[in-house]
């Protein structure tokens, strides 16, 4: 009887963690009290081999048409997985139209990108930079087959795909590429900022109180300081409202004028992700705040507010080697 229960518990454990027979089940790192382990898509359970594969893919420029651009070229760890630029040019020279958002604690999020584009999973999101055309970023549209051919022709990737997806002997395809990228991105976890550790300076403490009192937390709410929703905050005003400008530049032919509602960004590591807002047109956090929440700033000490936002930076996250480029060479013996 006891053994029976243990066996059942064992089976549910493997299912719950998305474990793969013969491979160690995935364990989330230690999470703060009150933070539940994230839910992962039912068809994309976590395992260590998949995370390692996703990390390799995230840093691999082979994911772009001409081998010149990786996810990590726009999403740089030292910038909280943003890039320090207003927008980023794609492989064919298309100007970027939106600011590269930082990537932090995405595993707990269900709405992605700056606008309400209906993208609700990391797996769906990963197709956009690879094969999107408005704008072209990595440029695989029309060249889709080349990516899977490239990956399947590489003996190292063949083995890594087999380890990550043991039931799929045919190796790389777009579904598995996006699943591995999703698994890796779910490990971009940041709970080590001074704010998390309760180590705020007196000025930052004052800023935290003002953040709450000024109503910032109506939208920047919860553990990641976002409600995940889009709001009209009047930020399409810098020449965008009439559709003539997009990301500060003339709207290219065929592009829809931008919507006027934008998603509340998480403020984790926000001090590292500038320039700010959806168009990257706010050169400081101060400017970004005044541009969308000016009415709430009466009586607010901006230097305190900024000190609080600085306290959301997690230095360990920005330097965590597990999130950085994978070691050179193939991690498995390809014989
Ligand atoms: C050319 C630069 C560029 C490249 C390359 C790029 N991204 Fe992005 N990424 C962006 C921009 C810009 C956005 C915001 C798009 C929008 O809101 O319309 C974004 C948004 C995202 C988001 C949503 C984040 C959020 O908070 O909503 C994720 C996740 C993401 N990218 C992952 C990836 C992955 C995975 C790759 C590689 C397959 C990748 N990106 C390649 C520029 C890039
Ligand atoms: C009504 C909802 C709402 C309120 C209230 C609000 N924000 Fe925001 N915040 C947003 C949205 C939406 C954006 C993105 C707007 C855009 O990109 O155009 C944003 C962007 C930001 C950014 C830039 C983040 C980035 O990655 O570019 C900062 C910093 C910020 N808010 C701080 C604050 C502070 C401080 C307050 C209080 C004084 C505040 N916000 C009040 C919704 C809100």
The Cβ of residue 71 has, within 10 Å, a number of other Cβ atoms equal to 25
Closest C-alpha among 285, 245, 247 to residue 265: 285
Q: How buried is residue 206: exposed, middle or buried, by Cβ count under 10 Å (0-12/13-18/19+)?
A: middle
**What number is the average pLDDT over the span 114-138?**
93
Give, using CA atoms, the residue closest to atom 28 of ligand 2.
289
Give the distance (Å) from ligand 2 centre to CA of residue 105.
18
State the distance from the centre of ligand 1 to the C-alpha of 101, rounded, in angstroms: 7
Q: Is 330 annotated as a binding residue?
A: no
User: Would you state the pLDDT for residue 9?
Assistant: 37
Give the model's confidence band at 12: pLDDT under 50 very low, under 70 low, under 90 confident, else very high: very low
As a whole number of angstroms, the distance between CA 311 and CA 194 comes to 5
Q: Which pLDDT does position 51 carry in this prediction? A: 97
* Choice from 104, 288, 290 to test ligand 2 binding pocket (greatest atom count within 8 A of CB): 288
Residue ranges and CATH numbers for the domains of the chain are: 42-189 (1.10.760.10), 194-313 (1.10.760.10)
| Model confidence pLDDT, tens digit, residues 48-102 | 999 999 999 999 999 999 999 999 999 999 999 999 999 999 999 888 889 999 9
Q: Inform me whether the pLDDT recorded for 247 exceeds 70.
A: no
Measure 285 CA to ligand 2 centroid, in angstroms. 9
d(CA 43, CA 123): 11
pLDDT at 257: 61
Q: Minimum mean pLDDT among 39-53, 141-155, 228-242, 255-269: which range?
A: 228-242
Q: What value does the mean pLDDT take over residues 28-55?
A: 96
For ligand 2, atom 39, the nearest C-alpha belongs to: 216
pLDDT bin (cut points 50, 70, 90) of residue 6 is: very low
Residue 30, CA distances (Å) to 17, 108, 200 in order: 15, 15, 22
Return the pLDDT at 11. Answer: 37
165: helix, coil or strand? coil
pLDDT (0 to 100) of residue 334: 81
Rounded to the nearest whole angstrom, what is the distance from the C-alpha of residue 170 to the centroid of ligand 2?
Answer: 45
Task: State the pLDDT confidence band at 249, using cuts at 50, 70 and 90.
Answer: low
Task: Output the average pLDDT for the chain.
Answer: 89
Q: What is the pLDDT of residues 234-244, one digit of tens each?
A: 887 555 545 55
Coil, strand, or helix at residue 47?
Answer: strand
* CB 71 within 8 Å of CB 182: no
Terminal-to-terminal C-alpha distance of the chain: 46
Give the pLDDT mean for 168-174: 94
pLDDT of the residue at 332: 86
The verdict on whether residue 75 carries a ligand-binding annotation is yes
């Amino acid at each position: 009887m006891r053994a029976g229960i243990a066996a059942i518990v064992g089976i549910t454990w493997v299912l719950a963690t998305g474990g793969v027979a013969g491979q160690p089940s995935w364990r989330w790192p230690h999470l703060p009290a009150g933070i539940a382990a994230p839910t992962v898509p039912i068809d994309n359970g976590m395992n260590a081999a998949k995370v390692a594969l996703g990390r390799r893919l995230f840093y691999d420029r082979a994911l772009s048409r001409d081998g010149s651009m990786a996810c990590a070229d726009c999403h740089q760890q030292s910038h909280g997985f943003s890039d320090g630029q207003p927008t980023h040019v794609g492989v064919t020279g298309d100007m970027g139209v939106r600011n590269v958002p930082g990537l932090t604690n995405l595993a707990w999020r269900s709405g992605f990108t700056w606008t309400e584009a209906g993208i609700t999973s990391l797996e769906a999101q990963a197709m956009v930079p690879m094969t999107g055309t408005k704008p072209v970023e990595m440029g695989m549209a029309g060249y889709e087959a080349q990516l899977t051919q490239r990956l399947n022709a590489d003996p190292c990737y063949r083995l890594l795909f087999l380890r990550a997806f043991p039931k799929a002997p045919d190796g790389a395809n777009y579904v598995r590429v996006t699943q591995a990228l999703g698994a890796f991105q779910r490990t971009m976890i940041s709970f080590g900022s001074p704010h998390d550790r309760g180590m705020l300076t007196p000025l930052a403490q004052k800023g935290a109180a003002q953040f709450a009192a000024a109503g910032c937390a109506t939208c920047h709410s919860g553990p990641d300081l976002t409600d995940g929703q889009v709001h009209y905050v009047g930020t399409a005003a810098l020449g965008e409202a009439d559709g003539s400008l997009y990301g500060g530049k003339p709207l290219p032919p065929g592009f829809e004028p931008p919507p006027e509602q934008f998603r509340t960004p998480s403020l984790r590591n926000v001090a590292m992700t500038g320039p700010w807002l959806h168009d990257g047109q706010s050169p400081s956090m101060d400017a970004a705040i005044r541009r969308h929440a000016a009415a709430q700033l009466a009586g607010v000490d901006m230097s305190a507010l900024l000190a609080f936002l600085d306290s959301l930076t997690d230095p360990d996250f920005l330097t965590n080697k597990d999130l950085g480029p994978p070691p050179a060479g193939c991690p498995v013996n390809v014989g």
